[in-house]
Amino acid sequence: MDINHILESLRWNCVLWLMNDLEFVPGAPGEMKKVKIDQVDFDDEVFQAKLEKLKELEAELDGCTRCRLHEGRTNLVFGVGNPDAKVVFVGEGPGYDEDMQGIPFVGQAGRLLTKMINALGWKREDVYICNVVKCRPPKNRTPRADEIKICSPFMFRQLEIIKPRVICLLGACAASTVLKLNMSMSRMRGKDFYWRGIPIVATYHPAYLLRNPAEKRKAWDDFKRLYRMVENSSSEISNAK
C-alpha cells in the first residue's frame, strides 16, 4: 500500500469520525474538498428554465387530494435545492418535522443527511432533495403501493427536469420505486444501476442509520462512491470541452 493510498484512507476516516460526532478527530493531511459542486448561478438560463418547470410542477400538486395521504397532511413536501444540481437525493416520504415545515429532510434523519453531504465538501443548497411521496404517511409508515403509484410520477418528473449527473436513492422504498427491483438494500449497495442513463447510488436511509449506527460506515462507503462518480462525470465533461 503506497503512502498516497494511506493518506487518502486516513482523510476519509477522519470525515467518518466527524459524521459520528466523535469528540477527537486527528488532523488529516491534504485538502478535504476535491470535487466542487458548482455554486448556484441564479442568472443562468438553464437554472432559470429548470426552476420555472419545477415551479409549474409544484403548482400541479397544490391542494392535491389524489391519494389518501392528503387526509393527515399539514404541508405538502415537494422538494428543495438547486434545480440544476449535479446530485439528486431521493428519500421515502416526509416525517413529522418535514410535514410541519414543508421541507424534506429537516428532522433528525435530515440533519444526519446534511452532515454527510457537508462531509463531502458540498452544501445542502447545491444539491436537490426530494421524496417518492409528497405527504407524510400516518405514523411514518412505509408508503403503500397505490400511494407510490399515484405520487411517484411527480418525483420522476423532478428527475426529468433536473437531469442530474448522479442520483442517490436513500432507502429501500426509493430504490425499489426507481429501479423497479424487489431487493434488500444490502444486496443493492455497491452495484451499478442507471435510470435513463444516469448512474445511481443506492444506500441506507438516514433514519435507518440512526436506528443502526453500526451501518454508518457502509453508508459512508456509498457516499464516497457517490463522490467519485461526480468527480468522474466532471472530468469527462471537462475533457470533452
CA atoms of 68 and 107, how far apart (whole Å):
23
Q: Go through the chain and tell me how many residues it has.
A: 241
**What does the alpha-carbon distance between residue 65 and residue 68 come to, in Å, rounded to a whole number?**
7
- Predicted TM-score (pTM) of the model is 0.85
Tell me how many helices (H) and strands (E) the chain has. 9, 6
State the pLDDT at residue 39: 59
The domain 46-240 having CATH identifier 3.40.470.10: the answer here is yes
Q: What is the pLDDT of residue 42?
A: 64
Instruction: List the pLDDT tens digit at each of the 241 positions of the chain.
Output: 555 544 455 455 555 555 555 332 333 333 334 455 665 666 789 999 999 999 999 999 999 999 999 999 999 999 999 999 999 999 999 999 999 999 999 999 999 999 999 999 999 999 999 999 999 999 999 999 999 999 999 999 999 999 999 999 999 999 999 999 999 999 999 999 999 999 999 999 999 999 999 999 999 999 999 999 999 987 665 555 5
> For 147, phi and psi rounded to 5 degrees?
-65, -40
Please, which residues have CB within 8 angstroms of residue 193's CB and are 6 or more apart in sequence?
179, 199, 200, 202
Q: If you search the block for the grid coordinates 429532510, which residue do you land on?
A: 105
Looking at this protein, which amino acid is placed at residue 60? Answer: E
The residue extents of the domains of the chain are: 1-32, 46-240
Q: In what order do the strands lie in the sheet with 87-91?
A: 79-81, 128-131, 87-91, 166-170, 198-203, 193-195
Say how far apart CA 186 and CA 205 lie, in whole Å: 12
Evaluate whether 104 touches 171 at the Cβ level (below 8 Å): no
